[in-house]
Amino acid sequence: MQNFVIGILEQMQMRYLKDLPLSSKVLKGVEELGFNELFPIQSQAIIPLLDGKDVIGQAQTGTGKTAAFGIPMVECLNSELKKVQGLILEPTRELTIQVADHLRQFSKYAALKVLPIYGGDPIHKQVSALERGVHIIVGTPGRIIDHLKRRTLDLRSVKVIVLDEADRMLDMGFIEDVEYILSKVPTQRQTNLFSATIDQSVMSLCHRYMTNPKKIFVSKDEIALEQIDQYYMVVNPANKFRILRSILDENHIGRAIIFCRTRKYTTLLSDRLKALGYDAKPLHAGYSQRQREFVINLFRKGKLNLLVATDVAARGLDIEGITHIINYDVPMEALVYFHRIGRTARMGREGTAITLVGYGDLDQFTSIKELTRTTISQLETPTQFW
- Is there a single domain that holds both residue 133 and residue 250? no
Give helix 334-341 / helix 362-371 axis angle, nearest 10°: 70
Residue type at 245 in one-letter notation: R
Helix (H) or strand (E) holding 259: strand 256-259
Closest CA to 148 of 79, 73, 84, 70: 84
Q: With the C-alpha atoms ordered 198, 200, 203, 209, is the resulting torsion angle positive or negative? A: negative
End-to-end CA distance of the chain: 71
- Is there a single domain that holds both residue 193 and residue 234? no
Q: For residue 16, give the DSSP letter.
A: B
Q: Is residue 222 part of a domain?
A: no
- Is there a single domain that holds both residue 254 and residue 167? no
What are the strands, taking DSSP E only, across 170-276? Answer: 190-195, 214-217, 228-235, 256-259
Q: Is residue 58 part of a domain?
A: yes
pTM summary value: 0.61
Closest CA to 246 of 333, 326, 320: 326
Closest CA to 86 of 185, 206, 1, 6: 185
- Is there a single domain that holds both residue 27 and residue 74? yes
Q: With the C-alpha atoms ordered 262, 267, 268, 274, is the resulting torsion angle positive or negative? A: positive
pLDDT block averages, 10 residues each, the chain of length 386: 46 72 90 76 92 88 81 95 96 90 91 94 93 96 96 96 92 92 95 85 88 79 64 93 92 88 92 96 85 89 93 68 92 74 69 92 83 80 59
- Is there a single domain that holds both residue 7 and residue 146? yes
Last residue in a domain, options 194, 217, 240: 217
User: What is the extent of the structural domain holding 338?
Assistant: 228-385
How remote is the C-alpha of 181 from its chain's centroid?
22
Let me know: does 280 contact 270? Beta carbons within 8 Å.
yes
293 Cβ contact partners less than 8 Å away, ≥ 6 residues apart: 93, 94
Question: Can you give the pLDDT at residue 30?
Answer: 86
> How far apart (Å, rounded) are the C-alpha atoms in residues 88 and 26?
19
Beta-carbon count within 10 A of 203 CB:
15
**CA 156, 160, 166, 172: dihedral to nearest 10 degrees?**
-20
Q: With the C-alpha atoms ordered 204, 183, 193, 15, is the resulting torsion angle positive or negative? A: positive
Question: Can you give the pLDDT at residue 103?
Answer: 94
Q: Is residue 223 part of a domain?
A: no
- Is there a single domain that holds both residue 303 and residue 181? no
Q: For residue 262, give the DSSP letter.
A: S
- Is there a single domain that holds both residue 276 and residue 202? no
- Is there a single domain that holds both residue 306 and residue 262? yes
Q: Is residue 60 part of a domain?
A: yes
> How far apart (Å, rounded) are the C-alpha atoms in residues 46 and 19?
11
User: Number of structural domains, the chain?
Assistant: 2
Question: Can you give the pLDDT at residue 325?
Answer: 93
> How far apart (Å, rounded) are the C-alpha atoms in residues 337 and 327?
8
Question: Can you give the pLDDT at residue 222?
Answer: 40
Question: Can you give the pLDDT at residue 312?
Answer: 66
Helix, strand, or coil (residue 38): coil
